[in-house]
């Protein structure tokens, strides 16, 4: 059953002390993507990374001497002709999170589509035109709301999901503040028009 090991070992002969000094202290194999700790102990990067992840609640310690170890303080070893890439960057066993940017939507529903600004933002867009006509804006808001409501609720929903799924919270927050600001301006403007 240990045939493969026997063969490996016999092929090379029993590993000499010199060869053994380049064995990883965890897998006991020749260290690949080798890194060395500040305390001088050699590991494969995947091996020591798995060890550090194995006890996330504790401070990671060197398996050999229990000295505190840190990912940032592991030194990659580059032999002659080996890949000069930092193994700590090229071989993270844990894949990075993936995110995909939503296609940019120029329709203003993309901006104001969510929540309470549904109808108003449509009215603002439509209402921009009749501002000059006295009482016009008041009516426009009404029609805008009525007409736009059904359609907008749908878009709003889609927009909502898009925001939560893909956009950062901060970005969304900014957008809401912007919407509120614009709304305030619009209302002030309308009031101004009505009372002048």
Partner 1 sequence: MASQNYPPPSNSRSKTVDSGMAVSKDGHSVTKRLRQDLTTLMLSGDKSISAFPDNDNLFNWIATITGGTGTIYESQSYKLTMSFPGRYPYNPPVVKFLTPIFHPNVDEFGNICLDILKEKWSALFDVRTILLSIQSLLGEPNIESPLNSEAADLWERPEEYKRILQVKYREASKAT
Q: Which residues bind partner 1 (CB under 8 A)?
A: 1-2, 4-6, 9, 14, 25-29, 47, 50-51, 54, 63-64, 66
Match 């844990």 to its residue by tokens. 94
Residue closer to partner 1 by CB (options 30, 108) is: 30
Residue closer to partner 1 by CB (options 27, 182) is: 27
* Closest approach of partner 1 to the CB of residue 51, in Å: 5
* Closest approach of partner 1 to the CB of residue 155, in Å: 38
* Closest approach of partner 1 to the CB of residue 95, in Å: 13
C-alpha to C-alpha distance for 190 and 196, rounded to whole angstroms: 10
* Closest approach of partner 1 to the CB of residue 4, in Å: 7
Hey, is 136 helix, strand or coil? helix
* Closest approach of partner 1 to the CB of residue 76, in Å: 19
Residue closer to partner 1 by CB (options 16, 170) is: 16
Residue closer to partner 1 by CB (options 1, 96) is: 1
What value does the CA radius of gyration of the chain take, rounded to a whole number of Å? 32
Residue closer to partner 1 by CB (options 36, 183) is: 36
Per-residue HEC secondary structure of 67-129 comes to CECCHHHCEECCCCCCCCCCHHHHCCCCCCCCCCCCCCCCCCHHHHCCHHHHHHHHHHHHHCH
C-alpha to C-alpha distance for 186 and 120, rounded to whole angstroms: 10
């Amino acid at each position: 059953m240990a045939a493969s090991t026997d063969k490996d070992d016999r092929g090379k002969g029993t590993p000499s002390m010199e060869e053994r000094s380049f064995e990883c202290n965890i897998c006991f194999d020749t260290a690949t993507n080798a890194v060395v700790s500040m305390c001088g102990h050699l590991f494969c990067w995947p091996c020591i990374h798995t060890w550090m992840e194995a006890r996330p609640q504790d401070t990671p310690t060197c398996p050999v001497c229990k000295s505190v170890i840190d990912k940032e303080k592991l030194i990659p070893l580059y032999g002659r002709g080996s890949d000069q890439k930092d193994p700590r960057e090229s071989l993270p066993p844990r894949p990075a999170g993936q995110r995909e940017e939503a296609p940019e939507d120029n329709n203003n529903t993309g901006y104001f589509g969510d929540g309470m600004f549904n109808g108003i933002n449509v009215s603002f867009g439509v209402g921009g035109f009749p501002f000059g006509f006295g009482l016009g804006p008041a009516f426009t808001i009404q029609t805008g709301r009525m007409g736009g409501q059904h359609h907008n609720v749908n878009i709003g929903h889609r927009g909502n999901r898009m925001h939560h799924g893909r956009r950062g919270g901060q970005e969304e927050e900014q957008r809401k503040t912007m919407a509120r600001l614009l709304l305030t301006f619009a209302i002030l403007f309308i009031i101004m028009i009505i009372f002048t």
